[in-house]
Amino acid sequence: MLKSVNEEQLDALINQKGLFLIDFWAPWCAPCKQFGRIYEQVAEQNPDIDFVKINIEEQPQIADAFQIRSIPHLMIIKEGIAIYSESGSMPESTLKELLQQAQAIDVSEILNKMNQDEG
């Protein structure tokens, strides 16, 4: 499902502990428009996953909070953890493959590793 969100809505998504993607973009960015079409196509093919779009012009505080320095920028969050964060466009096949990999990741392993590193 494709949606635009504000800061409060994004916080709620993160707290839901599911998998979702974020496309950081701006209306003046040509590569963002190109990637946006791909992102929207993949979103339509995966209605059970939230595909979020954040316009950095309208929501600069969110871009700042995530330290977004160039766009387009794709971030994948699973169980409240950013498991992917990369700037640049990509073809549809790469985005689909990335999504499959994200779905397969066991976040509990990451959390265990983080807890071990802290202890």
- Average the pLDDT over 4-9 and give the result: 84
Q: What does the domain layout of the chain look like in residue ranges?
A: 2-118
When pLDDT is averaged across residues 23-32 and rounded to a whole number, the result is: 97
- Catalytic, out of 10, 19, 32, 71: 32
Quick check: is 29 catalytic? Answer: yes
Q: Which of 13, 14, 26, 29 is catalytic?
A: 29
Q: What span, in angstroms and rounded, lies between the C-alpha atoms of 58 and 52?
A: 14
pLDDT above 70 (res 119):
no
Q: Which residues pair with residue 86 across a beta bridge?
A: 74
Q: Of 48, 85, 84, nearest to 70 (Cα)?
A: 85
Question: Is 0.95 surpassed by the pTM of this model?
Answer: no
Q: Which residue has the higher pLDDT, 9 or 112?
A: 9
The pLDDT of residue 18 is above 80:
yes
**CATH architecture classification, 2-118:** 3-Layer(aba) Sandwich (3.40)
Residues 39-85 pLDDT 10s: 999 999 999 999 999 999 999 999 999 999 999 999 999 988 899 99
